[in-house]
Structure 1
Amino acid sequence: MLLLLLPMLLSRTATRIRTCPVSIWASIHRFPPLSFSPPTNVSAAPIQQPQQQQQQQSPPDQAEEDDDPNKSEAYKLIHYHLDNYKRNTAYCLPSSLRPTLVQRTVPHESVIDRILHPELRDRMILLRGRFDLVDCLLDYRNAVTIHGDDVLAHSNWEISEKWLRQYGFLVDPATLNIVNRWRRERAEPELRIADITSAETTPAST
């Protein structure tokens, strides 16, 4: 009897199996689609900007450009020589940039080493607490006039009378002699240390 019923049972089972996928898909479509939320703890990789746009957003060069081509060339050469000397102390510096005894023995800001007048460098180091270094160096850069072709000879660097009077406590006879040499060529009266220091107003340091 069971053998007679077995083919009938197998036939019904096969029929149910064939119709099962339809009912399953019908039940699946009744459920709403799952929403996807991206993880919040994963940082997205930065988008690479075009090279031209990145160059435009880069900070500008901090090296100042002067209207006077001699002055611009001089500061580039000063930076070049001091950078070589920093890497190798055996490097032969131009005479105006060679460290003085004060520079070698007294700690100071390296930017003072860029001043071409050796005696002026010494006084800036020794009197460092009496003036604002940034203002002084900016004023000095604007006050300098370079004569002749040798832009690294400090004897060709004339400092304006305005700067000398503003920072009279930094002025020494050697630096003033250079200034007076160029003033004589223009038939201008020479300046004296007493005249400069008497009108001295010491800027406050920060």
Structure 2
Amino acid sequence: MIRILIVEDEKSISDLIKINLTDAGYSCFCAFDGNEAADMLESESFDLVLLDIMLPKINGYELMEYIRPMEIPVIFISAKSETYDKVRGLKLGAEDYLTKPFEIIELLARVETVLRRYNKNLSVLTEDDVVIDINSHTVKKNGELIPLTVKEFDLLLLLVQNKNIALFREKIFERVWHESYIGDSRTIDLHIQRLRKKLGWEKKIVAVYKIGYRLEG
């Protein structure tokens, strides 16, 4: 399982990130200051570090210098939104820089992208009795192959990776169809109906009024 270290001194933010990444299938660990993070990095192995900048004891920039020789990918997550700060973080070796406040769906997408870049992303996801193999692009329910179209597969993957999160129609359309949303929801609704029927998830994929859809776990 992919192991992610969350280095964030605000517990509410740390908990929010941990809950959502855990729901997405990652194994998460938390450090609340730079010293604690350095100790954990020295004694344990991680596949990705999510790193705040303004940390007690050792700040994120200083900790990045310590992490860099380990060749562990790092995503900075910080309230510092100036271009200078972003450039500094990237020049220190971070793979990405996400500014607070952020949407969980964007964080999950960036985590997935960085892990894929390092060939560390999860290739198999399980949700109840459904197994999704990303590499082979196949879906099985109770061991039986379920035929899905490319868009149905991409939509299912998006829902599973964002379980218990209400996804706006705009985000769904942009992530699955890779186009700007123009207000026509019939395409999304049709694909949702097909997924529900094929997987027997009529009550699991729920409509969220005036927002879009959510996969309940």
Tell whether the structures are fold-level matches, with TM greater than 0.5: no
Length-normalised TM-score, structure 1? 0.25
Larger Rg over CA atoms:
1
Length-normalised TM-score, structure 2? 0.24
